[in-house]
Chain A
Amino acid sequence: GAGVSQSPSNKVTEKGKDVELRCDPISGHTALYWYRQSLGQGLEFLIYFQGNSAPDKSGLPSDRFSAERTGGSVSTLTIQRTQQEDSAVYLCASSTGQWVYNEQFFGPGTRLTVL
């Protein structure tokens, strides 16, 4: 079946512009996660959704970052007034729910470059 998809796969933008990243989770998965990997770093948790609600936004690095999820499916991560330090690979993952055995299925990522 279809896995997690993300778009765009690559995004180059100028400093100060807004960008929107999209994630389509696996159908039926209620939990959705956003991570990023900066150059040379590990996985950094940003935010997760259970359904359309985001119980934990603690990982968002600044108020320039926001995310929403509609219809319990597609999610968008928006970065306003991008900065060079926002350059990273942004990964989305989904799982069937909040359960210890739930593995997370990852999308291919969006590589964001802020010039």
Chain B
Amino acid sequence: ILNVEQSPQSLHVQEGDSTNFTCSFPSSNFYALHWYRWETAKSPEALFVMTLNGDEKKKGRISATLNTKEGYSYLYIKGSQPEDSATYLCALMDSNYQLIWGAGTKLIIKP
């Protein structure tokens, strides 16, 4: 059974500070890793889909890196803003193209 772990579970960050958090997964038989942002009272929205070892994706102040050999991905947020407050989910795609979801990192930006 594939297990996707995210850490930390929650994170309080001062507005303007940069932060990062981790998604860990089994390194064998890797297909793809997805990152989603889930704001309160809204639906999850896709941020990145990463497939290659060493991949780095960027969207505005948010970026992600991927290491498939050691089984982890980092999500970075530069200069945190209140609108970044959300739960960030990573999901590993398995051989059946199903997403195995992590429990998420809840990010709270303090003004």
Interface residues of A (CB under 8 A from B): 4, 41-43, 45, 48, 55-56, 91, 93, 98-109
B28 in the interface, Cβ–Cβ < 8 Å? no
Contact A104 B101 (CB under 8 A): no
- Name the residue of chain B whose CB is nearest to the CB of A92: B43
B67 in the interface, Cβ–Cβ < 8 Å? no
- Name the residue of chain A whose CB is nearest to the CB of B99: A104
Contact B101 A45 (CB under 8 A): yes
Q: Which residues of A contact B45 (CB under 8 A)?
A: 106
A-B CB contacts (within 8 Å), total count: 49
* Of B18-26, B75-83, B90-98, the one with at least 4 CB within 8 A of chain A: B90-98
- In angstroms, Cα B103 to Cα A21, docked, is 24
B contacts with A, residue count (CB < 8 A) = 20
Interface residues of B (CB under 8 A from A): 31-32, 34, 42-46, 49, 51, 89, 93, 96-99, 101-104
Contact B93 A109 (CB under 8 A): no
- Name the residue of chain B whose CB is nearest to the CB of A101: B49
Contact B32 A100 (CB under 8 A): yes
- Name the residue of chain B whose CB is nearest to the CB of A99: B97
Q: For A56, give its contact among B32, B51, B96 (CB under 8 Å).
A: B96
Q: Which residues of A contact B42 (CB under 8 A)?
A: 108
A-B contact pairs, 28 of them (CB 8 A): A42-B102, A42-B103, A43-B104, A56-B98, A91-B43, A91-B44, A93-B44, A98-B96, A98-B97, A99-B97, A100-B31, A100-B32, A100-B49, A100-B97, A101-B32, A101-B49, A101-B51, A103-B46, A103-B49, A104-B34, A104-B46, A104-B99, A105-B46, A106-B43, A106-B44, A107-B43, A108-B43, A109-B43
